[in-house]
């Protein structure tokens, strides 16, 4: 089963976070992760559209830009060439600040996913420690919180397997 990760990364931190999520996804038996950077989407559109169509779930990653997702990811979501309805969806963010902004960016993405008809994932506190509320966040140049990303990937993939197998 396939999970796609669509992300925008300016400095490389969001890309690094996406790669950590891949580790968690691929730790679940039978799960495959596909990275889709929005910066190269137009160059590989046919390939990426096929991957997205085949995916049971899609995760979206963004740097926090003034308490919202990057305009590049927002534009991609606004013009998404694939029906995402019925797929499992989730979000993650990176930020230079630890409070407020990245969580608001995740909330914005999750709202858009609901409008697109996705099933929105949050393990919240139901899965115990570590608590990953709406989606994982890492902050600052030291990328505090990066240890949550593989855990989130594993939890997301497990839920997709439970729902779609």
Three-state DSSP state, 83: coil
Ordered structural domains, the chain, with CATH: 2-164 (3.40.50.360)
Q: Residues 25, 154: contact at Cβ < 8 Å? A: yes
Question: What is the CA 59 to chain-centroid distance, rounded?
Answer: 3
- Of the pLDDT bands very low, low, confident and very high (cuts 50, 70, 90), residue 143 is confident
Between CA 74 and CA 87 the distance in angstroms is: 19
Query: Of 102 and 89, which is predicted with more confidence?
Result: 89
- Residue 14 predicted with pLDDT over 80: yes
Distance of alpha carbon 60 from alpha carbon 41, whole angstroms: 14
Distance of CA 109 to the CA centre of its chain: 9
Mean pLDDT value of segment 17-24: 98
Could you say which DSSP state residue 107 is in? Answer: H
Which tops the pLDDT comparison, 151 or 98?
A: 151
């Amino acid at each position: 089963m396939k999970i796609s990760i669509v992300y925008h990364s300016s400095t490389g931190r969001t890309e690094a976070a996406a790669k950590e999520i891949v580790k968690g996804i691929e730790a679940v038996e039978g799960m495959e992760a596909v990275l889709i950077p929005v910066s190269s989407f137009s160059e590989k559109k046919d390939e990426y559209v096929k991957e997205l169509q085949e995916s049971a779930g899609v995760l979206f990653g963004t740097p926090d830009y003034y308490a919202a997702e990057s305009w590049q990811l927002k534009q991609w979501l606004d013009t998404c060439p694939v029906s995402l309805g019925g797929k499992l969806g989730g979000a993650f963010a990176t930020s230079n600040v630890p409070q407020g902004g990245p969580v608001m960016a995740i909330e914005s993405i999750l709202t858009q996913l609901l409008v697109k008809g996705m099933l929105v994932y949050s393990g919240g506190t139901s899965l115990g420690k570590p608590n990953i509320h709406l989606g994982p966040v890492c902050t600052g140049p030291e990328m505090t919180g990066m240890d949550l990303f593989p855990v989130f990937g594993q939890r997301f993939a497990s839920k997709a397997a439970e729902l779609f197998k």
